[in-house]
Amino acid sequence: MRKSRRLTALCMGMILCSGLLGGCGTGSEETKESAEKVQADTKSQAGTESDSSGTGTGTDWITAEDISNMPETTIRYWYYETPERIELGQQQVEEFMNLHPNIKVSGSVAPDNTDNEMLMTYIQSRTNSNIHQSLNIEDLWYVNNGLLYPLNNFPDFEEQMARMDPDLNYTWVDGNTYSISWYTSPNVMFYNKKMMEEIKWDPANPPRTYSEYYDFAQKVTDPDNKRWAIAPWMGEEWWRWQFTMYPFYIAANGGNQTVAEDGASVIFNNENMRKVYEFYEKLFDEGWAYKELWDIDPFITGQTASARGQSDMLASIKNSAAEDFEFVMGPIPVPDGTERGEVDTYGFVRNFCIIDELGVEEGEERDRVRRASWEFIKFLLSDEQCAKDFAVSGEYPCLKDVQENETIRPVFEQFGESAVELLEIGKNSTISDMNTLHECDIMLPLQTAFLKVAYGEMGAQEALDWAEAEANKILQSK
Protein backbone atom coordinates (compact mmCIF):
# COMPACT_ATOMS: atom_id res chain seq x y z
CA MET A 1 0.00 0.00 0.00
CA ARG A 2 1.27 3.43 -0.84
CA LYS A 3 1.45 5.29 2.39
CA SER A 4 1.47 8.71 0.73
CA ARG A 5 -2.12 8.26 -0.48
CA ARG A 6 -3.19 6.63 2.74
CA LEU A 7 -1.98 9.55 4.77
CA THR A 8 -4.24 11.94 2.88
CA ALA A 9 -7.15 10.57 4.84
CA LEU A 10 -5.17 10.25 8.03
CA CYS A 11 -4.17 13.91 7.93
CA MET A 12 -7.65 15.26 7.31
CA GLY A 13 -8.54 15.95 10.92
CA MET A 14 -5.24 17.79 11.35
CA ILE A 15 -5.74 19.70 8.11
CA LEU A 16 -9.01 21.22 9.20
CA CYS A 17 -7.62 22.87 12.23
CA SER A 18 -3.87 22.84 12.12
CA GLY A 19 -1.12 25.14 11.18
CA LEU A 20 1.61 23.70 8.99
CA LEU A 21 2.32 20.97 11.52
CA GLY A 22 -1.20 20.79 12.82
CA GLY A 23 -3.19 18.69 15.16
CA CYS A 24 -6.96 18.54 15.32
CA GLY A 25 -8.63 21.48 16.97
CA THR A 26 -5.64 23.80 16.76
CA GLY A 27 -6.72 25.68 13.65
CA SER A 28 -7.25 29.38 13.25
CA GLU A 29 -9.99 31.11 15.23
CA GLU A 30 -11.29 32.48 11.95
CA THR A 31 -11.89 28.97 10.63
CA LYS A 32 -13.56 27.84 13.83
CA GLU A 33 -15.71 30.96 14.11
CA SER A 34 -16.79 30.58 10.49
CA ALA A 35 -17.96 27.02 11.11
CA GLU A 36 -19.73 28.04 14.30
CA LYS A 37 -21.50 30.90 12.55
CA VAL A 38 -22.86 28.62 9.83
CA GLN A 39 -23.95 26.13 12.45
CA ALA A 40 -25.67 28.84 14.46
CA ASP A 41 -27.70 29.78 11.41
CA THR A 42 -29.13 26.27 11.21
CA LYS A 43 -29.04 24.97 14.78
CA SER A 44 -32.07 27.00 15.83
CA GLN A 45 -34.17 24.81 13.59
CA ALA A 46 -32.42 21.54 14.43
CA GLY A 47 -34.59 18.67 15.50
CA THR A 48 -37.73 19.95 13.78
CA GLU A 49 -39.79 17.55 11.72
CA SER A 50 -39.00 17.43 7.98
CA ASP A 51 -41.46 19.72 6.33
CA SER A 52 -42.10 21.67 3.17
CA SER A 53 -38.53 22.57 2.20
CA GLY A 54 -37.62 20.83 -1.07
CA THR A 55 -40.56 19.07 -2.67
CA GLY A 56 -43.20 20.00 -0.14
CA THR A 57 -44.10 16.38 0.55
CA GLY A 58 -43.52 16.65 4.28
CA THR A 59 -42.01 13.13 4.31
CA ASP A 60 -39.59 12.37 7.11
CA TRP A 61 -36.84 10.76 5.05
CA ILE A 62 -34.76 9.97 8.12
CA THR A 63 -37.29 7.42 9.36
CA ALA A 64 -39.13 6.50 6.14
CA GLU A 65 -39.33 2.73 5.66
CA ASP A 66 -39.35 3.03 1.86
CA ILE A 67 -37.20 5.57 0.04
CA SER A 68 -37.82 4.28 -3.48
CA ASN A 69 -40.10 7.27 -4.11
CA MET A 70 -37.69 9.79 -2.61
CA PRO A 71 -37.02 12.61 -5.08
CA GLU A 72 -33.70 12.35 -6.90
CA THR A 73 -30.96 13.17 -4.42
CA THR A 74 -27.26 13.70 -5.08
CA ILE A 75 -24.50 13.00 -2.56
CA ARG A 76 -20.75 13.38 -2.90
CA TYR A 77 -18.14 10.73 -2.13
CA TRP A 78 -14.35 11.07 -2.21
CA TYR A 79 -12.06 8.13 -2.85
CA TYR A 80 -8.82 7.99 -0.89
CA GLU A 81 -5.73 5.88 -0.49
CA THR A 82 -4.37 3.40 -3.00
CA PRO A 83 -5.13 3.15 -6.72
CA GLU A 84 -6.80 -0.17 -5.92
CA ARG A 85 -9.19 1.44 -3.44
CA ILE A 86 -9.92 4.27 -5.86
CA GLU A 87 -10.80 1.81 -8.60
CA LEU A 88 -12.97 -0.17 -6.20
CA GLY A 89 -14.70 3.02 -5.05
CA GLN A 90 -15.62 3.87 -8.61
CA GLN A 91 -17.11 0.43 -9.09
CA GLN A 92 -19.03 0.70 -5.82
CA VAL A 93 -20.57 4.01 -6.84
CA GLU A 94 -21.90 2.53 -10.09
CA GLU A 95 -23.22 -0.58 -8.38
CA PHE A 96 -24.96 1.43 -5.68
CA MET A 97 -26.66 3.75 -8.17
CA ASN A 98 -27.96 0.72 -10.06
CA LEU A 99 -29.60 -0.41 -6.82
CA HIS A 100 -30.91 3.06 -5.98
CA PRO A 101 -31.73 4.92 -9.22
CA ASN A 102 -33.06 7.93 -7.31
CA ILE A 103 -29.73 8.47 -5.48
CA LYS A 104 -26.90 9.92 -7.51
CA VAL A 105 -23.41 9.56 -6.07
CA SER A 106 -20.93 12.07 -7.39
CA GLY A 107 -17.70 10.18 -6.88
CA SER A 108 -14.24 11.68 -7.25
CA VAL A 109 -10.68 11.27 -6.02
CA ALA A 110 -10.03 13.43 -2.97
CA PRO A 111 -8.37 16.66 -4.14
CA ASP A 112 -4.73 17.16 -3.30
CA ASN A 113 -5.37 20.38 -1.43
CA THR A 114 -7.14 18.49 1.33
CA ASP A 115 -3.58 18.14 2.60
CA ASN A 116 -3.82 21.65 4.03
CA GLU A 117 -6.44 23.85 5.68
CA MET A 118 -8.63 23.91 2.56
CA LEU A 119 -11.03 21.16 3.68
CA MET A 120 -13.11 23.62 5.66
CA THR A 121 -13.58 25.62 2.46
CA TYR A 122 -15.05 22.53 0.81
CA ILE A 123 -17.37 21.97 3.75
CA GLN A 124 -18.56 25.56 3.76
CA SER A 125 -19.12 25.54 0.00
CA ARG A 126 -20.88 22.17 0.13
CA THR A 127 -18.38 20.50 -2.18
CA ASN A 128 -16.84 18.10 0.36
CA SER A 129 -17.57 14.40 0.56
CA ASN A 130 -20.84 13.88 2.45
CA ILE A 131 -19.56 10.50 3.65
CA HIS A 132 -16.25 11.16 5.33
CA GLN A 133 -13.62 8.49 5.86
CA SER A 134 -12.45 9.48 9.32
CA LEU A 135 -10.67 8.22 12.43
CA ASN A 136 -12.47 8.15 15.77
CA ILE A 137 -10.06 10.70 17.23
CA GLU A 138 -10.65 12.96 14.22
CA ASP A 139 -14.41 12.62 14.59
CA LEU A 140 -14.23 14.58 17.80
CA TRP A 141 -12.98 17.73 16.10
CA TYR A 142 -16.00 17.59 13.80
CA VAL A 143 -18.26 16.95 16.79
CA ASN A 144 -16.75 19.93 18.59
CA ASN A 145 -17.65 22.10 15.61
CA GLY A 146 -21.15 20.66 15.15
CA LEU A 147 -20.41 19.13 11.75
CA LEU A 148 -21.43 15.48 12.20
CA TYR A 149 -24.92 14.05 12.00
CA PRO A 150 -25.62 11.43 14.73
CA LEU A 151 -25.98 8.06 13.04
CA ASN A 152 -28.13 6.75 15.88
CA ASN A 153 -30.94 8.96 14.54
CA PHE A 154 -31.55 6.41 11.79
CA PRO A 155 -34.09 3.78 12.89
CA ASP A 156 -32.04 0.84 11.59
CA PHE A 157 -28.80 2.05 13.19
CA GLU A 158 -28.85 -0.61 15.92
CA GLU A 159 -29.42 -3.29 13.30
CA GLN A 160 -26.26 -2.19 11.52
CA MET A 161 -24.26 -1.83 14.72
CA ALA A 162 -25.21 -5.38 15.72
CA ARG A 163 -23.08 -6.61 12.79
CA MET A 164 -20.01 -4.66 13.89
CA ASP A 165 -17.38 -5.40 16.53
CA PRO A 166 -18.44 -3.17 19.46
CA ASP A 167 -14.84 -2.84 20.69
CA LEU A 168 -13.97 -0.95 17.51
CA ASN A 169 -16.58 1.77 17.90
CA TYR A 170 -17.44 4.39 20.51
CA THR A 171 -20.36 6.47 21.74
CA TRP A 172 -19.53 10.02 22.72
CA VAL A 173 -20.42 11.37 26.17
CA ASP A 174 -23.48 13.16 24.77
CA GLY A 175 -25.02 9.75 24.04
CA ASN A 176 -24.63 9.98 20.27
CA THR A 177 -22.69 7.71 17.94
CA TYR A 178 -21.24 9.86 15.19
CA SER A 179 -19.43 7.24 13.15
CA ILE A 180 -19.49 3.56 12.39
CA SER A 181 -16.32 1.48 12.06
CA TRP A 182 -15.32 0.29 8.58
CA TYR A 183 -11.96 -1.46 8.72
CA THR A 184 -9.34 -2.12 11.35
CA SER A 185 -5.64 -2.86 11.45
CA PRO A 186 -3.90 -4.00 14.67
CA ASN A 187 -0.29 -2.91 15.17
CA VAL A 188 2.26 -5.73 15.45
CA MET A 189 5.98 -6.17 14.77
CA PHE A 190 7.27 -7.48 11.45
CA TYR A 191 10.73 -9.07 11.11
CA ASN A 192 12.83 -9.95 8.09
CA LYS A 193 13.20 -13.72 8.39
CA LYS A 194 16.45 -14.00 6.44
CA MET A 195 18.11 -11.30 8.50
CA MET A 196 17.05 -13.08 11.67
CA GLU A 197 18.59 -16.31 10.41
CA GLU A 198 21.81 -14.49 9.48
CA ILE A 199 22.33 -13.46 13.11
CA LYS A 200 21.28 -16.90 14.37
CA TRP A 201 18.00 -15.59 15.80
CA ASP A 202 15.15 -18.09 15.89
CA PRO A 203 12.40 -16.64 13.65
CA ALA A 204 9.83 -18.54 15.68
CA ASN A 205 10.74 -16.47 18.74
CA PRO A 206 10.85 -12.78 17.85
CA PRO A 207 11.77 -10.28 20.61
CA ARG A 208 9.11 -9.86 23.26
CA THR A 209 10.86 -7.52 25.70
CA TYR A 210 12.96 -4.40 25.36
CA SER A 211 16.19 -6.16 26.31
CA GLU A 212 15.52 -8.88 23.75
CA TYR A 213 14.86 -6.27 21.11
CA TYR A 214 18.07 -4.40 22.04
CA ASP A 215 20.00 -7.63 21.58
CA PHE A 216 18.36 -8.20 18.21
CA ALA A 217 18.94 -4.59 17.11
CA GLN A 218 22.60 -4.59 18.10
CA LYS A 219 23.29 -7.82 16.20
CA VAL A 220 21.39 -6.96 13.02
CA THR A 221 22.43 -3.32 12.53
CA ASP A 222 25.16 -2.78 9.93
CA PRO A 223 25.38 0.90 8.89
CA ASP A 224 28.27 0.23 6.51
CA ASN A 225 25.91 -1.92 4.48
CA LYS A 226 23.00 0.49 5.03
CA ARG A 227 21.09 -1.85 7.31
CA TRP A 228 19.34 -0.86 10.52
CA ALA A 229 17.03 -2.53 12.99
CA ILE A 230 14.06 -0.22 12.46
CA ALA A 231 13.02 3.02 10.77
CA PRO A 232 10.34 4.89 12.79
CA TRP A 233 8.27 7.61 11.18
CA MET A 234 10.18 10.85 11.78
CA GLY A 235 7.72 13.47 10.51
CA GLU A 236 6.32 16.29 12.63
CA GLU A 237 2.64 15.57 11.96
CA TRP A 238 0.55 14.65 15.01
CA TRP A 239 -0.85 11.45 13.53
CA ARG A 240 2.54 9.76 13.37
CA TRP A 241 2.58 9.39 17.15
CA GLN A 242 -0.42 7.06 17.19
CA PHE A 243 1.53 4.56 15.08
CA THR A 244 5.14 5.04 16.19
CA MET A 245 4.59 5.41 19.94
CA TYR A 246 1.01 4.60 20.93
CA PRO A 247 1.24 0.81 20.37
CA PHE A 248 4.30 0.70 22.65
CA TYR A 249 2.63 2.83 25.31
CA ILE A 250 -0.49 0.65 25.31
CA ALA A 251 1.65 -2.49 25.57
CA ALA A 252 3.71 -1.06 28.45
CA ASN A 253 0.75 0.52 30.19
CA GLY A 254 -1.79 -2.26 29.73
CA GLY A 255 -4.29 0.42 28.70
CA ASN A 256 -4.81 3.30 26.29
CA GLN A 257 -5.47 6.19 28.69
CA THR A 258 -3.53 9.39 28.02
CA VAL A 259 -6.17 11.84 29.31
CA ALA A 260 -8.10 11.82 32.58
CA GLU A 261 -11.72 10.72 32.33
CA ASP A 262 -12.95 14.27 32.84
CA GLY A 263 -10.88 15.40 29.86
CA ALA A 264 -9.31 18.22 31.87
CA SER A 265 -5.71 17.03 32.13
CA VAL A 266 -3.31 14.44 30.74
CA ILE A 267 -2.16 11.39 32.68
CA PHE A 268 0.48 10.06 30.30
CA ASN A 269 3.51 11.33 32.23
CA ASN A 270 4.03 8.06 34.05
CA GLU A 271 6.69 5.39 34.37
CA ASN A 272 5.28 3.34 31.51
CA MET A 273 5.38 6.22 29.03
CA ARG A 274 8.88 7.17 30.20
CA LYS A 275 10.07 3.64 29.45
CA VAL A 276 8.69 3.90 25.91
CA TYR A 277 10.57 7.15 25.28
CA GLU A 278 13.69 5.62 26.81
CA PHE A 279 13.28 2.62 24.50
CA TYR A 280 13.44 4.84 21.44
CA GLU A 281 16.14 7.00 23.02
CA LYS A 282 18.43 3.97 23.24
CA LEU A 283 17.65 2.85 19.69
CA PHE A 284 18.68 6.25 18.36
CA ASP A 285 21.65 6.74 20.68
CA GLU A 286 23.09 3.35 19.70
CA GLY A 287 22.56 3.98 15.99
CA TRP A 288 20.18 1.05 15.62
CA ALA A 289 17.30 3.16 14.28
CA TYR A 290 17.28 4.81 10.84
CA LYS A 291 16.73 8.52 11.38
CA GLU A 292 15.53 9.81 8.01
CA LEU A 293 12.19 10.52 6.36
CA TRP A 294 11.01 7.93 3.88
CA ASP A 295 8.14 7.35 1.46
CA ILE A 296 8.46 3.59 1.01
CA ASP A 297 8.97 1.63 4.21
CA PRO A 298 12.65 0.57 4.36
CA PHE A 299 11.46 -2.76 5.73
CA ILE A 300 9.87 -3.54 2.36
CA THR A 301 13.07 -2.63 0.51
CA GLY A 302 15.30 -4.66 2.82
CA GLN A 303 17.06 -1.77 4.59
CA THR A 304 15.65 -2.54 8.03
CA ALA A 305 15.28 -5.83 9.83
CA SER A 306 12.00 -4.99 11.56
CA ALA A 307 9.04 -2.65 11.40
CA ARG A 308 6.02 -1.69 13.42
CA GLY A 309 3.25 -2.50 10.97
CA GLN A 310 -0.41 -3.21 10.44
CA SER A 311 -2.39 -5.55 8.27
CA ASP A 312 -1.91 -3.34 5.23
CA MET A 313 1.74 -4.39 5.42
CA LEU A 314 0.60 -7.77 4.09
CA ALA A 315 -0.67 -6.13 0.92
CA SER A 316 2.46 -3.96 0.67
CA ILE A 317 4.74 -6.98 0.92
CA LYS A 318 2.65 -8.87 -1.59
CA ASN A 319 2.68 -5.98 -4.07
CA SER A 320 6.11 -4.40 -3.57
CA ALA A 321 8.62 -6.67 -1.85
CA ALA A 322 11.10 -8.91 -3.66
CA GLU A 323 9.79 -12.34 -4.63
CA ASP A 324 12.05 -14.09 -2.12
CA PHE A 325 11.11 -11.72 0.74
CA GLU A 326 10.16 -13.64 3.86
CA PHE A 327 8.88 -12.28 7.14
CA VAL A 328 7.61 -13.28 10.54
CA MET A 329 5.46 -11.38 12.99
CA GLY A 330 5.47 -10.87 16.73
CA PRO A 331 3.85 -8.76 19.45
CA ILE A 332 4.87 -5.24 20.39
CA PRO A 333 7.77 -5.61 22.87
CA VAL A 334 7.17 -4.59 26.48
CA PRO A 335 9.58 -3.30 29.17
CA ASP A 336 11.44 -6.01 31.03
CA GLY A 337 9.44 -7.30 33.97
CA THR A 338 6.13 -6.07 32.55
CA GLU A 339 3.25 -8.50 32.24
CA ARG A 340 0.98 -7.94 29.29
CA GLY A 341 -2.37 -6.51 30.23
CA GLU A 342 -5.81 -7.07 28.75
CA VAL A 343 -4.78 -4.82 25.86
CA ASP A 344 -1.30 -4.64 24.43
CA THR A 345 -1.37 -2.71 21.16
CA TYR A 346 -3.15 0.01 19.22
CA GLY A 347 -5.95 -0.96 16.85
CA PHE A 348 -6.14 1.53 14.01
CA VAL A 349 -9.74 1.96 12.85
CA ARG A 350 -11.10 3.83 9.85
CA ASN A 351 -14.78 4.71 10.03
CA PHE A 352 -17.58 6.40 8.14
CA CYS A 353 -19.36 9.52 9.33
CA ILE A 354 -21.76 11.99 7.73
CA ILE A 355 -20.63 15.61 7.49
CA ASP A 356 -23.79 17.68 7.60
CA GLU A 357 -24.65 20.04 4.78
CA LEU A 358 -23.91 23.55 6.01
CA GLY A 359 -26.12 26.46 5.05
CA VAL A 360 -29.15 24.23 4.49
CA GLU A 361 -32.13 24.61 6.80
CA GLU A 362 -33.51 21.63 8.64
CA GLY A 363 -36.08 19.98 6.46
CA GLU A 364 -36.62 17.63 3.60
CA GLU A 365 -33.65 18.60 1.45
CA ARG A 366 -31.14 18.20 4.26
CA ASP A 367 -32.72 14.95 5.45
CA ARG A 368 -32.65 13.46 1.96
CA VAL A 369 -28.89 13.97 1.77
CA ARG A 370 -28.48 12.47 5.23
CA ARG A 371 -30.60 9.44 4.42
CA ALA A 372 -28.98 8.90 1.01
CA SER A 373 -25.55 9.09 2.68
CA TRP A 374 -26.64 6.55 5.28
CA GLU A 375 -27.88 4.17 2.58
CA PHE A 376 -24.51 4.40 0.83
CA ILE A 377 -22.66 3.76 4.09
CA LYS A 378 -24.76 0.64 4.68
CA PHE A 379 -23.96 -0.52 1.16
CA LEU A 380 -20.22 -0.04 1.73
CA LEU A 381 -20.49 -1.98 5.00
CA SER A 382 -22.30 -4.94 3.43
CA ASP A 383 -20.48 -8.26 3.65
CA GLU A 384 -19.86 -8.27 -0.09
CA GLN A 385 -18.34 -4.78 -0.23
CA CYS A 386 -16.30 -5.34 2.92
CA ALA A 387 -14.84 -8.45 1.32
CA LYS A 388 -13.89 -6.50 -1.78
CA ASP A 389 -12.18 -3.80 0.25
CA PHE A 390 -10.34 -6.39 2.35
CA ALA A 391 -9.08 -8.04 -0.84
CA VAL A 392 -7.51 -4.86 -2.24
CA SER A 393 -6.23 -3.42 1.05
CA GLY A 394 -5.41 -6.26 3.42
CA GLU A 395 -7.24 -4.39 6.20
CA TYR A 396 -9.85 -6.29 8.15
CA PRO A 397 -13.55 -5.41 8.04
CA CYS A 398 -14.87 -4.40 11.46
CA LEU A 399 -17.51 -7.10 11.32
CA LYS A 400 -18.19 -9.02 14.51
CA ASP A 401 -17.84 -12.40 12.80
CA VAL A 402 -15.05 -11.43 10.42
CA GLN A 403 -13.20 -14.77 10.52
CA GLU A 404 -16.32 -16.93 10.41
CA ASN A 405 -18.15 -14.85 7.79
CA GLU A 406 -18.59 -16.97 4.67
CA THR A 407 -18.25 -13.95 2.41
CA ILE A 408 -15.05 -12.75 4.07
CA ARG A 409 -13.37 -16.14 4.56
CA PRO A 410 -12.13 -16.51 0.94
CA VAL A 411 -10.13 -13.29 1.33
CA PHE A 412 -8.36 -14.70 4.38
CA GLU A 413 -7.48 -17.70 2.24
CA GLN A 414 -6.17 -15.35 -0.45
CA PHE A 415 -3.73 -13.74 1.99
CA GLY A 416 -2.82 -17.05 3.57
CA GLU A 417 -2.01 -17.87 7.16
CA SER A 418 -0.35 -14.49 7.71
CA ALA A 419 -3.71 -12.71 7.79
CA VAL A 420 -5.03 -15.02 10.48
CA GLU A 421 -1.78 -14.90 12.44
CA LEU A 422 -1.64 -11.10 12.45
CA LEU A 423 -5.20 -10.90 13.68
CA GLU A 424 -4.38 -13.37 16.46
CA ILE A 425 -1.28 -11.42 17.55
CA GLY A 426 -3.26 -8.20 17.54
CA LYS A 427 -6.41 -9.60 19.13
CA ASN A 428 -5.83 -7.55 22.30
CA SER A 429 -5.72 -4.23 20.49
CA THR A 430 -7.69 -1.17 21.58
CA ILE A 431 -8.75 2.11 20.02
CA SER A 432 -7.90 5.54 21.47
CA ASP A 433 -9.08 6.49 24.95
CA MET A 434 -11.67 9.02 23.62
CA ASN A 435 -11.76 11.13 26.78
CA THR A 436 -11.53 14.54 25.15
CA LEU A 437 -12.64 16.40 22.05
CA HIS A 438 -8.98 17.33 21.63
CA GLU A 439 -7.47 13.87 21.22
CA CYS A 440 -5.61 14.94 18.09
CA ASP A 441 -4.32 18.15 19.64
CA ILE A 442 -2.39 16.47 22.42
CA MET A 443 -0.69 14.03 20.06
CA LEU A 444 1.24 16.91 18.53
CA PRO A 445 3.34 17.66 21.64
CA LEU A 446 3.78 13.92 22.16
CA GLN A 447 5.14 13.52 18.63
CA THR A 448 7.30 16.63 19.04
CA ALA A 449 8.67 15.17 22.28
CA PHE A 450 9.54 11.97 20.42
CA LEU A 451 11.50 13.98 17.86
CA LYS A 452 13.30 15.92 20.60
CA VAL A 453 14.46 12.58 22.01
CA ALA A 454 15.35 11.18 18.59
CA TYR A 455 17.52 14.16 17.68
CA GLY A 456 19.16 14.41 21.10
CA GLU A 457 17.56 17.73 22.08
CA MET A 458 16.07 16.31 25.29
CA GLY A 459 16.26 13.20 27.40
CA ALA A 460 13.21 10.96 27.72
CA GLN A 461 11.89 12.35 31.01
CA GLU A 462 12.61 15.96 30.09
CA ALA A 463 10.76 15.56 26.80
CA LEU A 464 7.85 13.88 28.55
CA ASP A 465 7.62 16.70 31.11
CA TRP A 466 7.59 19.19 28.25
CA ALA A 467 4.84 17.27 26.42
CA GLU A 468 2.72 17.11 29.59
CA ALA A 469 2.94 20.88 30.08
CA GLU A 470 2.11 21.60 26.43
CA ALA A 471 -0.79 19.13 26.33
CA ASN A 472 -2.31 20.52 29.54
CA LYS A 473 -2.12 24.01 28.06
CA ILE A 474 -4.15 22.77 25.12
CA LEU A 475 -6.81 21.16 27.31
CA GLN A 476 -7.04 24.09 29.71
CA SER A 477 -7.35 26.65 26.93
CA LYS A 478 -10.39 24.99 25.34
Percent of the chain with pLDDT over 90: 72
Q: Mean pLDDT over residues 41-64, rounded?
A: 55
DSSP state letters, 53-96: STTS----TTT-S--TTSPPEEEEEEE-SSHHHHHHHHHHHHHH
Q: Mean pLDDT over residues 1-21, rounded?
A: 34
* Topology agreement, domain 3-31+58-184+351-417 and domain 186-346+432-476: yes
The reported pLDDT for the residue numbered 256 is 95
Residue 413 reports pLDDT greater than 80: yes
Residue 18 reports pLDDT greater than 80: no
Largest CA distance in the chain: 76
Q: For residue range 217-247, list pLDDT tens digits in order.
A: 999 999 999 999 999 999 998 889 999 999 9
Residue 12 reports pLDDT greater than 80: no
Residue 42 reports pLDDT greater than 90: no
CB 360 within 8 A of CB 366: yes
| E strand or H helix that includes residue 359 | none
Q: For residue range 165-210, list pLDDT tens digits in order.
A: 999 999 999 999 999 999 999 999 999 999 999 999 999 999 999 9
- Max mean pLDDT among 57-66, 110-119, 181-190 falls in 181-190
The reported pLDDT for the residue numbered 28 is 38
Reported CATH class of domain 186-346+432-476: alpha beta
Pick the CATH number of 3-31+58-184+351-417 from 3.40.50.80, 2.102.10.10, 3.40.190.170, 3.40.190.10: 3.40.190.10
Residue 1 reports pLDDT greater than 50: no
The reported pLDDT for the residue numbered 478 is 65
Q: Mean pLDDT over residues 430-445, rounded?
A: 93
User: Domain residues of the chain, as ranges?
Assistant: 3-31+58-184+351-417, 186-346+432-476
* Full-model pTM: 0.85
Residue 30 reports pLDDT greater than 90: no
Mean pLDDT value across the chain: 87
Please report which confidence band the pLDDT of residue 110 belongs to, taking 50, 70 and 90 as the band edges: confident
Torsion angles phi and psi, residue 161, rounded to 5: -65, -30
66-80, 94-108, 127-141, 190-204 — which is least confidently predicted?
A: 127-141
Torsion angles phi and psi, residue 446, rounded to 5: -65, -40
Cβ burial of 371 (10 Å; 0-12, 13-18, 19+) is buried
The reported pLDDT for the residue numbered 126 is 87
The reported pLDDT for the residue numbered 357 is 84
In whole angstroms, how far apart are CA 13 and each of 138, 144, 294, 329?
5, 12, 22, 31
Please report which confidence band the pLDDT of residue 119 belongs to, taking 50, 70 and 90 as the band edges: confident
Residue 347 reports pLDDT greater than 90: yes
Please report which confidence band the pLDDT of residue 56 belongs to, taking 50, 70 and 90 as the band edges: very low
